[in-house]
Chain A
Amino acid sequence: MTRSNGKTLLWASLYLPHLLLDDTNSDKPLGIIERRNHRQQIRCCNPQAQQAGIYPGMALNSAYALLPDLSVIDYDPTREAQLLSHVGEWAMQFSSIVSTHPPNHVLIEIAGSKMLFDSFESIIHLIEAELDALGYSGQIGIAPTPLAANLLAKANLRIGITDRQRLSSAISSLPVSLLELPQDTIEGLRRSGMHQIGSLLNISPASLTRRFGCSCVDTIDRLLGRHPDPRTPMRLSDIFERECNFTVEIEDVSALQFATQRMTSELSAFLIAQDKGINIFQLSLHHERHQSTTIDIRFLHATSQSRHLHRVLTERLSQTELIAPVCGLSLFADNFSNIDRDAADFFIKSRQQQKTLGEIIDKLSSRLGDEALYTLSAVDDHRPEKAWRKSFIDEHSKQLPQWPQRPLWLLPEPQPIPPARNHSFTIESTAERIETGWWESDDVRRDYFVAIDKQGARYWVYKDRCRQEQWFMHGIFA
């Protein structure tokens, strides 16, 4: 199989057999059940249930007899397809050509990504590590055709085949049950004594078709690359939306960690695939009998880093008080922006500084509140209390002409000095008269002095000429 420009494609197939089980993340015995041959039976179960002796294909009644407190969920093919497409979107951070192969495979074209990631080994290690962080269990296989990659992934051989000529010898010893064929065809092959794929390859296509129908030959032709097997690449949507429902109601925010970790990892992969960053997204906590709680999660600089996204989200969640137990979570993002990469960005040091400054500010403000962090700037106003303001971080203010001597500490409000308290208090400067603001309601008519008390502490005091010459303290020369 070749591209139009003549380059050989190479597929990495992710085999995800336990999507629905991984989605629940239950630490109690859990099974997924389906109806087959007029009876309820276990489709798959988690390791806790397996330890108790439950196996796929077991009748539900027998399973309950073994383990009365086994919890079960019905097999939901739509949810499984949805999860598969989420993994597909997540995989688009590794390659531009990703395709899902229902029900359990995601195909990633990696020949085009080899240049970017140095070698196939590094891509595979990266995919495996990231998949693990996402919380899904999966196996990976590499081959020049999609079906062969699926086969190798399912067999979990951990070999990669890049050359189509070597394909037939590599797969000949694998059991026929791994082939993607109808169940009765596989049964028929087994009855005819063909247990390994190799024996199937030796029979002429004509006799195979006569015995087992054309699907068998077609599969083998696509498997070995004799017939083309085109795949439609996935496209990313314009919005990012994830939903997660819990089997039990959750009363402690820290228990949401698993779900939020996966959502932020997927969001990060989505952003990387689009080469975008995010400044704000919404997290909604759904309750059984209450309206959902929606939290806006904001970032100083547009970011796509999963670690940063998750840390800020966790911090905000831990500050949130639950009004009711949580039965579901959803995350919504539709406003993406370009990650700021100005010229200085390419110098590693400054890029890291910039990045971590945004990270640390987000971390602090998510715990202390947005108003708790600010920088200062001077304002061109003669009224001392209006000659400064809080400004946003990263807002560049111009430096203003200098004032006469000013104290480092300004009292939030001028404090009247009661005449009764009779310390000796010395004035050590000439008066600075400030008369301004008559055009607004807060008219200022004051004479400012630097005063020093017995202990030697220096204060900025003024005499209010509007209010019977009352003395006020306004600052401290710290």
Chain B
Amino acid sequence: MTLEALLKHPALWQGRQRQHCDRETLPTGYSQLDAVLPAHGWPVGALTEIMTASSGIGELSMLMPALRNLTQKQLRVALIAPPYVPYAPALIEAGLQLDQLLVVDADTAAGPKEKEKNDFWATEQLLRSGIFSAVILWSGRHSSDRTQRRLQLAAEHGKCWAVCYRPEHCAKSASPAGLRMILGQQSRHLCVDIIKNRGGKLHQLTLQKSSASNCNISSLPQKTGQLRPDSKTSRSAPESRPDH
């Protein structure tokens, strides 16, 4: 093996200057985020872990610019075990080509543990196949260091962008993922706390919602008021949110 070939080997870490210069990049759609990521975009061939305390803060719309890019280039994307129905009209609004999107949602009859085992298996298969450009998994309680390592290796093998959503408490345990971030909300903006960034530095940043994003607050007519339309109903609040 020549030195040239050796230097191109993806498993060889070379410091910041040369790293990722040969790799294709997958821009996140947010210039601030691209600037701090060593690949200048989402890491292809590695696992990205996203941890959130709750749904509804824009944790999925954050991925939409990249997913729109991929599907419009006729590259395939898979969603595995989404916690709710991925809503087709909203996905179209975000610019996705739906025929490039595969949803894998196995039956829950086998019990949650068995289901999650199947979800991990399906994710690994799709990652390894090399025909999906992005594979996104919503994992539950049974994700572990071992499952994440397998996903990371599968992503490397298939040169695929793997994303795994995990519960927030998983941030405390170590993980072999290439990129890990905790998402939060601060004055209506998405806060990204990068807790692991292979080949780059750790950062905390607030994303300004760009026009690419699905949840475009600024363009909405702002009408702030209590959720109390008239005297007939009292103030209401959501029932306990489904765990995510």
- Given the interface pairs A353-B131, A409-B55, the reply to whether A429 lies near B118 with Cβ below 8 Å is no
| CB neighbors of A among B55-112 (8 A) | 55-61, 64, 76, 82-94, 98-99, 101-107
**A183 contacts across to B, CB distance below 8 A:** none
Let me know if B83 and A409 touch, CB within 8 A.
yes
Cβ 8 A contact of A375, one of B55, B102, B222? B102
Question: A374 and B103 in contact (CB under 8 A), knowing A408-B87, A455-B185?
Answer: yes
Tell whether, in the assembled complex, residue B93 and residue A476 are in contact, meaning their CB atoms are under 8 Å apart.
no
Q: Is B236 an interface residue (CB 8 A)?
A: yes
Contact B55 A478 (CB under 8 A): yes
Contact of B220 (CB < 8 Å), options: A364, A375, A405, A470: A405
CB of A301 within 8 A of chain B? Answer: no
Closest chain B residue to A457 by CB distance? B56
**Chain B residues closer than 8 Å to A390, beta-carbon distance:** 103
A423 at the interface (CB under 8 A from B): yes
Complex interface: chain B residues within 8 A of A192 (CB): none
Q: Does A225 lie at the interface of the complex (its beta carbon under 8 Å from any beta carbon of B)?
A: no
Give the CA-CA distance A361 to B131 in the complex, in Å: 11
Check if A141 is an interface residue, CB within 8 A of chain B: no
What is the interface size of chain A, counting residues whose CB is below 8 A from a CB of the partner?
77
The answer to whether A421 has its CB under 8 Å from any CB of chain B is: yes
Segment of A142-150, A320-328, A365-373 in the binding face: A365-373
Distance from A394 Cβ to chain B, minimum over Cβ atoms (Å):
8
Q: How many residues of B contact A (CB 8 A)?
A: 66
In the complex with contacts A376-B101, A412-B84, A455-B54 CB distance below 8 A: yes
Q: How far is the CA of A10 from the CA of B131 in the complex (A)?
A: 44
One of B6-14, B24-32, B121-129 contacting the partner: B121-129
Binary contact readout B208-226 vs A (1 if CB under 8 angstroms, 0 otherwise): 0000001111001111111
Q: Mark A152-183, 1 if CB is under 8 A from B, else 0.
A: 00000000000000000000000000000000
Q: Cα distance A376–B86 when bound, in Å?
A: 8
| Beta-carbon nearest neighbor of A385 in chain B | B85
A408 touching B60, Cβ below 8 Å: yes
Task: Answer yes or no: B1 CB below 8 A from chain A CBs.
Answer: no
A378 near B92 (CB under 8 angstroms)?
yes
Most chain B CB neighbours (cut-off 10 Å) among A356, A403, A457: A457
* Contact B238–A393 (Cβ < 8 Å): no
**Which of B34-42, B146-154, B172-180, B227-235 faces chain A?**
B227-235
Given contacts A368-B106, A376-B103, A427-B224, is CB(A457)–CB(B57) below 8 Å? yes
Q: Is B239 an interface residue (CB 8 A)?
A: yes
Q: In this assembly, does A28 line the interface, its C-beta being within 8 Å of a C-beta of chain B?
A: no
In the bound complex, what is the Cα–Cα distance between A428 and B226 (angstroms)? Answer: 10
**Cβ-defined partner of B87 (8 Å) among A388, A416, A456, A468:** A388
Of the residues B55, B101, B185, B186, contact of A476 by C-beta under 8 Å: B55
Is A31 located at the chain interface by the 8 A CB criterion?
Answer: no
Which residues of the partner chain A approach B105 to less than 8 Å between Cβ atoms? 372, 374
Cα distance, A469 to B236, chains bound together (Å): 12
Q: Is A402 an interface residue (CB 8 A)?
A: yes
